Amino acid sequence: MPLFPMAAWVTPAGLVFWQNFKMRLFKNLLFWLFFSGALLNVLASAPHTITLDGNMNEWGDDEIVWLDSQNDSPWGSFNELYKLGVTWDSDNFYFGLGAVLSSGNHLIVYIDTGTCGVSSVADLRSPEDINKRWYWAKNNYFDEGFRPSFQWHSYQTEFKGSAGGQGLYHYVYQAAQNVWQAQPATFLQSPRNPDSDGGVYREVEVAIPWTVLFGGVPAEGRVIKIIVSLNGGTDEGNGYYGSAHEAMPDQANTFPSVWYGSYTLTNYLTFVYDNGNNRSTIARNLTIETENNRAKIIWDKRGTRESTTYQVYHSTDLTRIKNLQGDYTETAENEIYLENLNRNVTYYVTIARKGENSRSELTHFILSGPVLSHKAVTNFSYPGKKCRLQFSSDRTLSTAKLYWRSGERMEFQEINLLSSGNTYYYDLTMPDASGNLDYYFVATDSEGATTLPRLSGNYYSITISSEIILNRAEQMIIPDEYNETNFSSYLDGENFLPGDRVRIRTFGYNDLDTVARSALPENLSLVCGYEISLQRGEKIYSPYFLGAETTLVLRHLSDYNISQLSLWYFDGRFWEKLDADSDNGRLRARIKALGRLAILAGSLPATAEAQKIARIAHSVFAPARGEFLEFIFAYRPTEIKFNVYNINGQRIYSGDSAIWNGRDSSGQIVEPGVYLYQLRYDGKKLTGSCVVLR
């Protein structure tokens, strides 16, 4: 019996809990002393034909797929599962078991071949009478991901083959009765043991023809799943059917306190069919992700609690790697980077546990094409704005393409990238709504093509959100493609309390209400808007007046020159221009209040700029249609005096509002014609003319 047997790969759906190393060592020494007679170090390769003699000494390290603890059964040492072996040849699927059973308990192997199976074996019907519950039915249920269609069973460790109702059975669905019925299936088994009262360790070897499981030799990659369970017996007279109280692999759920209590089996072992020579039956779902001159190797643990040292073998020599003679790197994790690899060379990789002779499946990869460097974009907070996606290359490329998709669009769209030296880029306009955008790059030169990310079928994903919540910090950075202080938008946290949160929603022109839209200064257009509010506890404040000025830095994400941009604050009626300077494509200002801010593009008319008038609306208007003349300020004046004169110089209207509705002081609509106005505010004076229409 080998000292360090290999266990089976466990799928993500079937988590397996492993025993510690000392128990494994003790358990194997126990086998060697009492059952082997000699220490064998056998390494088998699938396919491997098993001699069905009830002695598992010929099974190789890589075929003993589970060694169970001998102290984990709630029914004590006379009811323990010891080990499971799995292998195959061109004709049969083999499994071998070592166990101790007593007290009328049943040993069952559940087999899931991926065809239609059952979620519970509690109501299986008898092969002889479809209206009768089967003697070998158990109060067992199965978690999602495991649906057995076969079971092999034995009373204690008698291993009678097909005698006494024991052996292999296939679950068949009977549509007329809407039930599952067990029916005998063909199999071969090692010679039976004499009847006994149990409590004695015995081994059994079983061969199931591929024609029984799959109707013929399965295709490469076909999956078989197995659970071995030690169950309570059957008391048909009282209607009690036992359930699992010990299993291989170990289970997540606690076994029931009574022998017939219902139980759900959660964890299972998975085997992937491969008819190649020198191929272990142990699969670890090896994945390779290459990036420039290194490769990331990722593999599955055999259960979430597998704790061990792995040896990652890699070599350009296939013969050496098959014999575990390549260079290897040790790690306690189930992933590792291989560094400083050569390009345009094929590398072969396999995984083994330290101290074991068996290995995982063999895979290979090759590094080719240009070396690319890209900082992945993960967040973007400006729907509808442009986001630069770019990478750099170690050489000039013949082609460089961006592939992207978003929203309901399932197919990737192709875009040819622009270049600046060896940097390749594209300013991609993001969707108008929040959501995700996926992308990847493909670059080619004379050596071949390189894809980023390198993992086949993978891509980068950007989360686009118009609403961001920032926790109070020294600098509260708005997440975007940079996430670096020198380029990002941020708000200083100096005037906020611990526990404060700042909520930021970006908006566009169509998101503005009528008042804010009509108040926009003439000749200026909205580039990007920010609604900034304070969340303190459960309350949200907007606007919120700060106790002192704080620094706000905002990006504009547009094609405008920074000299054409200005930063404005809206107080509910007027847009006020803030004093701001520029830095790395951003506008920086000191603000006294949170609320609605915007970056606007364009230039104010010279007169209006000098007078701090943002816009003069409706200088030609028809009062009878409800139109009016209005002066919109860049800030709220403290004092307004407005007079209107006819062409003879007679004052016909006087008021303290910057709006004239075309009526005289008595409330009558004036005659059509040209009128002069004089607006005084905060020590300034503005004069001009307007036209009243009929």
Summarised one tens digit per residue, pLDDT across range 321-344 is 777 777 888 888 888 888 888 877
Residue 185 pairs with which residues in a beta bridge? none
Cα 94 to Cα 149: distance, rounded to the nearest angstrom: 17
Domain map (residue ranges) of the chain: 21-272, 287-366, 372-463, 467-603, 611-692
CB 485 within 8 A of CB 473: no
Mean pLDDT to the nearest integer, 644-668: 92
Does the CA dihedral 576-577-579-583 come out positive or negative? positive
CB 78 within 8 A of CB 196: no
CB 347 within 8 A of CB 313: no
Q: Would you state the pLDDT for residue 604?
A: 66
Q: Would you state the pLDDT for residue 306?
A: 59
Nearest residue to 631 (alpha-carbon basis) of 567, 690, 571: 690
Mean pLDDT to the nearest integer, 151-176: 93
Q: Is 31 helix (H, G, I), strand (E, B) or coil?
A: helix
Runs of H (alpha helix) within 402-538: 514-518
| Residue 357, pLDDT above cutoff 60 | no
Preceding amide of 184 cis, omega within 30? no
Amino acid at 203: E
Q: Is 607 helix (H, G, I), strand (E, B) or coil?
A: helix
Q: Is 164 helix (H, G, I), strand (E, B) or coil?
A: helix
244-248 vs 575-577, strand pairing mode: unpaired
The tens digit of pLDDT for each residue in 373-399 reads 888 888 887 777 888 899 999 889 999
Its CATH architecture, for the domain 372-463, is Sandwich (2.60)
The tens digit of pLDDT for each residue in 403-449 reads 999 877 678 999 999 999 999 999 898 887 778 899 999 998 887 77
Nearest residue to 517 (alpha-carbon basis) of 578, 555, 573, 558: 573
Q: Would you state the pLDDT for residue 478?
A: 72
H or E segment to which residue 609 belongs? helix 606-611
Cα 351 to Cα 299: distance, rounded to the nearest angstrom: 8
CB 578 within 8 A of CB 568: yes
pLDDT more than 90, % of the chain? 34
Q: Would you state the pLDDT for residue 268?
A: 86
Q: Does domain 287-366 have CATH number 2.60.40.10?
A: yes
**178 φ/ψ angles, rounded to the nearest 5 degrees:** 55, 45
What 8-state DSSP symbol labels residue 649? S
* 226-235, 315-324, 466-475, 579-588 — most confident range: 226-235
- In the block, tokens 């499971």 appear at 84
- Which two three-digit tokens encode residue 117? 């199976």
Residue 346 pairs with which residues in a beta bridge? 366
Cα 69 to Cα 227: distance, rounded to the nearest angstrom: 16
What b/e string do you get for 667-693 counting C-beta neighbours within 10 Å, with b at 16 or more?
eeebeeeebebebebeeeebeeebebe
Residues in contact with 443: Cβ distance below 8 Å, sequence separation at least 6, in sequence order:
369, 370, 372, 391, 393, 397, 399, 400, 401, 424, 449, 450, 451, 452
Give residue 7's pLDDT band: very low, low, confident or very high (50, 70, 90).
very low
**27 φ/ψ angles, rounded to the nearest 5 degrees:** -60, -45
Residues in contact with 645: Cβ distance below 8 Å, sequence separation at least 6, in sequence order:
651, 652, 675, 676, 677, 678
Q: Would you state the pLDDT for residue 451?
A: 81
Q: How many CB atoms lie within 10 A of CB 626?
A: 9
Q: Would you state the pLDDT for residue 121?
A: 97
CATH of domain 611-692: 2.60.40.3080
Domain boundaries 467-603, CATH class: mainly beta
Nearest residue to 224 (alpha-carbon basis) of 298, 146, 327, 319: 146
* 112-116, 144-148, 259-263 — most confident range: 259-263
Q: Would you state the pLDDT for residue 290?
A: 74
Residue 108 pairs with which residues in a beta bridge? 153, 229
Strand order across the beta sheet in which 327-331 lies: 327-331, 310-315, 346-353, 363-366
- Residues making up the chain, counted from first to last: 694
* 121-130, 430-439, 633-642, 681-690 — most confident range: 121-130
| Residue 230, pLDDT above cutoff 90 | yes
Cα 574 to Cα 392: distance, rounded to the nearest angstrom: 46
Give residue 20's pLDDT band: very low, low, confident or very high (50, 70, 90).
very low
Give residue 678's pLDDT band: very low, low, confident or very high (50, 70, 90).
very high
Q: Among 27-41, 290-304, 311-325, 650-664, where is mean pLDDT lowest?
A: 27-41
Give residue 578's pLDDT band: very low, low, confident or very high (50, 70, 90).
confident
Q: How many CB atoms lie within 10 A of CB 665?
A: 11
| Residue 277, pLDDT above cutoff 70 | no
Give residue 18's pLDDT band: very low, low, confident or very high (50, 70, 90).
very low
Does the CA dihedral 416-418-423-428 come out positive or negative? negative
Q: Is 81 helix (H, G, I), strand (E, B) or coil?
A: strand
CATH topology match: 467-603 vs 611-692: no
Residue 373 pairs with which residues in a beta bridge? 392
